[in-house]
């Protein structure tokens, strides 16, 4: 895969969430907040070889899609996609985008050019190392600068994972902080000498909107339980002694 195709990341939870103003964040042209139609069109433009599979909830409602390119290793158990995306929606609006890319030897980007491209696209990061980089945004949409563990988006617990084979796994967050607005993460797998990039994983998601939606669900459930209990108490049922 041509290094010029480097573009950036994704992995399903949630519905009925409130909207917040979002920084202009996109992975490979798929914007957080994009409609289903817009997201699929952007993913198609990112890689013309993508084939799409809908992600559905138990009730059959489409909650996202997976997009995969050709596989490496044939049709065996070890086969995997060299380009893999996951896009998730709530109420038709994109809240999670992830992309995994495996680069073929002889056409790999350098570690330096990849890190430079990431910083050029997303701006100065919250924290970075030789193989990872992240951006934490608070609920106002401001980029956090400081100790990552004390930031608004501390690393939480990942939930469902989507696989394109042994090489590619994109996980979805399962826990959200009330202080976190948006989160972007990129992970590089460098070559043994550290100069080239063998693979790149990028995830971006809107945490604040999901947190609010889950909190609203909890509040509604608590209110319903309280009402049910009060109705039961009002019956003044007496035991038969």
Q: For 59-126, give the DSSP string.
A: TS-EEEEEEE--EESTTSTT-EESEEEEEEEETTEEEEEEEEEEPPTTSPPBHHHHHHHHHHHH-S-S
Q: What is the pLDDT of residue 43?
A: 97
Q: What is the pLDDT of residue 133?
A: 95
Q: What is the pLDDT of residue 45?
A: 96
Q: Quick: pLDDT tens for 106-131.
A: 999 999 999 999 999 999 999 999 89
The strand pairing partners of 189, in sequence order, are 199
Q: What is the pLDDT of residue 140?
A: 92
Q: What is the pLDDT of residue 232?
A: 82
Q: What is the pLDDT of residue 72?
A: 54
Rg of the chain on CA atoms, in Å: 21
pTM: 0.80
Could you read off the pLDDT tens digit of each residue along the chain, which spans 241 residues?
443 333 333 223 233 333 344 468 999 999 999 999 999 999 999 999 999 999 998 888 999 999 998 665 544 444 567 899 999 998 889 999 999 999 989 999 999 999 999 999 999 999 999 899 999 999 999 999 988 889 999 776 677 788 866 667 899 998 888 999 999 999 999 999 999 999 999 999 999 888 877 666 676 777 778 788 788 888 888 888 8
Structure tokens belonging to residue 52: 């799409």
- Measure the CA–CA gap between 203 and 44, rounded to whole angstroms: 18
Q: What is the pLDDT of residue 76?
A: 42
The answer to whether residues 186 and 90 touch, using CB atoms and an 8 Å cutoff, is no
């Amino acid at each position: 895969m041509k290094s010029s195709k480097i573009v950036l990341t994704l992995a399903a939870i949630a519905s009925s969430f409130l909207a917040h103003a979002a920084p202009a964040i996109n992975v490979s042209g798929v914007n957080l907040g994009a409609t289903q139609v817009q997201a699929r069109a952007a993913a198609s433009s990112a890689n013309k070889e993508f084939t799409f599979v809908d992600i559905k909830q138990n009730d059959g409602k489409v909650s996202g899609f997976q997009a995969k390119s050709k596989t490496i290793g044939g049709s065996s158990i070890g086969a995997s996609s060299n380009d893999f995306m996951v896009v998730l929606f709530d109420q038709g609006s994109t809240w999670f985008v992830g992309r995994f890319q495996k680069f073929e030897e002889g056409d790999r980007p350098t570690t330096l050019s990849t890190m430079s491209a990431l910083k050029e696209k997303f701006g100065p990061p919250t924290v970075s190392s030789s193989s990872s980089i992240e951006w934490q945004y608070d609920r106002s949409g401001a980029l956090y600068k400081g100790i990552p563990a004390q930031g608004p988006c501390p690393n939480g617990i990942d939930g469902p994972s989507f696989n394109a084979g042994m090489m590619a796994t994109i996980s979805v967050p399962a826990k959200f902080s009330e202080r976190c607005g948006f989160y972007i993460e990129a992970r590089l797998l460098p070559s043994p000498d550290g100069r080239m990039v063998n693979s790149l994983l990028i995830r971006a998601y809107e945490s604040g909107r999901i947190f609010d939606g889950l909190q609203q669900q909890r509040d509604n459930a608590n209110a319903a339980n309280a009402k049910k209990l009060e109705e039961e108490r009002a019956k003044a049922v007496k035991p038969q002694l």
